[in-house]
Amino acid sequence: MTRDDLMPLVHMTLRDPSAAAKTLINWEMPRDVLWTALALVAALNTLLIQLVLIGSDPTPAIPAYFYAPLSLFVLMAGVMVIYVHALYWAGLAIKGKGRLDDLLAVVVWLQILRTGAQLGIVVISLLVPALSMVAMMIVSIWGFWILLNFIATALHLPSPAYGLLVLAIGLIGLVVSVSILLALVGVGAQGTTNHV
């Protein structure tokens, strides 16, 4: 996979998410590569959050584990893993027929794009703070539309509307599982002081 492969895929994802999902699936990347990419995305997100927190005053609104990079990484990676499995089993529950690897590929790709978008929003917030909220809203709405198309394509569902149903069902399992994960990470982060 080279830059010549990635840039057209970025443009395709923004214009035609279903076609982009089919392209990703047709690449048939090994599962270990996909899980490694997911871990890398979690690491990059952790780094981005740490950079944002540098120099900021600690606040009770931010949990202590956000200031503990390892705990935050475990949380973010764990949430992504749970997220993929929750969507997959929710898809099967409504007669989806895709493979876990296919769903993993499209979710990892979307997370990579979101990480890049978040980095862009951080830069915008530093240069033109007034535009950061607008940029965040556009990224959120567009990302949601892409996700619905990715889910529908990866799980062979009739339309993106079914992707919304998968999200609704998967959210139940995700909330329960993340609550358990938060409890575990919270225990690991006890005693961590809110400073960088």
Q: Across the 196 residues of the chain, what is the mean pLDDT of every consecutive 10-residue run? A: 76 95 94 94 90 70 76 88 92 90 95 92 85 90 95 94 91 81 61 45
Type of residue numbered 131: L
> Residue 112, Cα to own-chain centre: how many angstroms?
8
Q: Which amino acid is present at 128?
A: V
pLDDT the model gives residue 21:
96
Residue 52 pLDDT? 79
pTM of the model as a whole = 0.85
Nearest in space to 14 (alpha carbons), one of 100, 105, 138: 138
Q: Is residue 91 a contact partner of residue 165, using CB atoms and an 8 Å limit?
A: no
Q: How many whole angstroms separate alpha carbon 7 and alpha carbon 11?
A: 6
Q: What sign does the dihedral 114-79-146-99 (CA atoms) show?
A: positive
Q: How far is CA 178 from the centre of its chain?
A: 14
CA–chain centroid gap for 2, Å, is 22
The phi, psi pair for 67, rounded to 5°, reads: -95, 5
Report pLDDT for 3: 61
- How many other C-beta atoms lie within 10 A of the C-beta of residue 99? 15
Q: What is the pLDDT of residue 165?
A: 93
The 8-class DSSP code of residue 128 comes to: -
In the chain, where the domains are located: 31-54+65-188
**Model pLDDT, residue 59:** 67
**Distance (Å, whole) CA 90 – CA 168:** 9
- Rounded Cα distance between 132 and 141, Å, is 14
